[in-house]
Structure formats: C-alpha cells, structure tokens
Amino acid sequence: MVQYSNLRCEVKDSIGYIVIDREAQLNALNQATLDELQDVFMHFNADNLVRGIILTGAGQKAFIAGADIKEFTDLSVIQARSLSERGHILFSDLIQGAPKPVVAAINGYALGGGLELALACHIRIATESAKMGLPEVSLGLIPGYGGTQRLPALVGKGHAMQMILTGDMIDAQKAAAIGLVNEVVPQEQLMARAETILQKIFTRSRSAVTQAIDAINAAEDKTRKGNHVEMDAFGHLFGTADFKEGVAAFLEKRAPEFK
Ligand code: COA
C-alpha cells in the first residue's frame, strides 16, 4: 500500500479504508490531500481485491471541516476556477463514479468541501454528534465541489436552498430527517455499521452492484439517458454467470454463490 502524507489507507476484509489524517486542521482538504485522494481512489477503484470503500476523518471531532481556507488567500480567479473543476472531476469521476460502493462514515463536522465529498459518496452514515453544513456564503463564496448540484438532488431544492443560503449547520437528526444521511449511529458503532452495510452488499452480485451504481448515477447526468443506461445494463446482466447463479439459487431454494 502506498504511504500518503495526509491519508491513512489500508485494505482489510475486501474493504478499502481511507482516513483523512489532518486532525489538527480538522481534516481540512488542502490540495495535497486532493492529490492523494485522487491517487488512492484510482488505486482502489482498479483493485479487484477491494469490493467497497469507507471514507472517514481522523479523530472524533471532524469528518472534514471543508476545503483548506488557508490555501484560498493566494488564489487568482483563474486558479479558483480550476480548483473547482479539479474537485468536480475527482468527486464525479472517481468517487461518485466508483464501480464499487463508497460509504462516507461522518464522524463529526462535515462542512463545505467535506460535506460535498460526503455527497459524492454512495451512502452516508453519521454519528449522533455530527454536524453538517455548506457555510461558503459566510466566506463570500458558494460551494465549489458539486454542492449546489448534489445537495438539491438528495434533499430537495427547498432544504438545499435554506442550507446553502443561510450557511447554517444542521445536526445529524435533522440530516437524517431530510435524507442527507441514511442512518445515525452512536460514535462507537460508526465503522462497524459502515462495514456491515458493505459486507451485505458483498454478498450480492458484484457486476449487478456496479451496473446499479452506474444506472443510478446516470439519472443525474444530463449527458446520458438514464432509462437507456438501465435498459442496456438490465439486458447485459442477463448474459452474466451471476444472473444464471442467482436465478438457479432462487429456484433451488439456496443462497447464491457469486464468483
Ligand atoms: N480550513 C483550514 N483550516 C481549518 C478549517 C478549514 N476549513 N477548519 C478548521 N481549520 C483549522 C483551524 O484554523 C484551526 O487551526 P489552527 O489551530 O492552526 O488555528 C484548527 O483547524 C481547529 O479549528 P478551530 O476553528 O480552532 O476549532 P473550533 O472547534 O473552534 O471550530 C469549526 C470548529 C469547524 C466550527 C471551525 O473550525 C470552522 O468554522 N471551520 C471552517 C468551516 C468552513 O467554513 N468550511 C468551509 C470551507 S469552504
């Protein structure tokens, strides 16, 4: 496993773990961390031994408290535009577009770019004390890593408008009520719950899981026709060994054994 300066990563029981490890800075996403995230997602996405990914932050205070504001001071208009574009490409292509499930284990503050990173993940689990928000307007900015696009898709336009325009944080219970996180658990159960969800997914057909992620993502992608992606994937899966095994197992009243 490659050693990173800002991440702790390992593979265990088919899960690729990524811990953003800048605890003293509340795991703020500086550009070096974005570089390393790009590298590890490319690595994990291509590694057949990794069947799912869990992303979390070091310590108990923060998942990620946003993009690193200390790096913002020297950026020109053009550099800021390319930083945003870079985040979009990383979050869309490598995280949301990962061919295996990615779970955000939100262990504290998930703010700004940190919440946007969680929004790009496929599933979000939060601790009871987690706080989430997009406070960019308080810096004279707007979200730049997809927040204006992904948040309304997840929680509806009204809640997204209120969160982005006020910049206020919401607690985990409210986040669950509006669909921003899937589940809220006590801090000590966070990783175990994320692992249990992934282990359940690992019992399913790997190719079906990959196609399902792609078809669900296609619904939000204006360059693709989601219905057609679903039809093509549905047809394609009929030709797979997993489909034959899944149906045979059902008819024989046994659990499937996917290869
Ligand atoms: N970028 C850079 N550094 C950050 C950061 C960020 N987004 N968020 C926190 N930090 C740093 C602080 O500057 C401080 O570093 P220092 O000790 O070198 O001064 C350290 O992390 C601890 O943060 P601090 O603000 O002292 O903790 P707190 O408990 O008082 O407050 C927050 C916690 C999350 C409420 C507060 O840090 C905050 O508002 N952060 C910025 C959130 C934000 O606007 N994110 C969107 C960015 S686009």
- Pick the catalytic residue: 10, 71, 85, 136? 136
Q: Provide the pLDDT confidence category of residue 22 given band limits of 50, 70 and 90.
A: very high
Q: What does the pLDDT read at residue 197? A: 98
| b/e burial code for range 14-30 (CB count within 10 A of at least 16 → b) | ebbbbbbbbeebbbbbb
* CA 131 to ligand 1: nearest atom: 34
Q: What does the pLDDT read at residue 109? A: 98
Mean pLDDT confidence for 38-53 = 98
How far is residue 203 CA from its own chain's centroid?
A: 21
Q: What does the pLDDT read at residue 143? A: 98
Is 136 assigned a catalytic role?
yes
φ and ψ at 89, to 5 degrees?
A: -65, -45
- Residue 1 in this model has a pLDDT that exceeds 90: no
Q: What does the pLDDT read at residue 252? A: 97
User: Tokens 């359940």 identify what position?
Assistant: 200
Q: Provide the pLDDT confidence category of residue 255 given band limits of 50, 70 and 90.
A: very high
> What average pLDDT does the chain have?
97
- Residue 47 in this model has a pLDDT that exceeds 90: yes
- With a pLDDT cut of 70, the percent of the chain lying above it is 100
Is 116 assigned a catalytic role?
yes
Q: What does the pLDDT read at residue 135? A: 98
**Tokens matching residue 47:** 């590694």
For 200-239, write each residue's pLDDT tens digit: 999 999 999 999 999 999 998 999 999 999 999 999 999 9
Q: What does the pLDDT read at residue 2? A: 86
Does pTM surpass 0.95? yes
The Cα angle at residue 13 between residues 9 and 17, in degrees rounded to 5: 20
Q: Provide the pLDDT confidence category of residue 149 given band limits of 50, 70 and 90.
A: very high
* CA 69 to ligand 1: nearest atom: 1
Mean pLDDT confidence for 182-201 = 98
Query: Best mutation site among 6, 26, 132, 137 for ligand 1, i.e. most ligand atoms within 8 A of its Cβ?
Result: 26
Mean pLDDT confidence for 63-68 = 98
Rounded alpha-carbon distances, angstroms, from residue 251 to 35, 52, 209: 48, 29, 21
Q: What does the pLDDT read at residue 106? A: 98
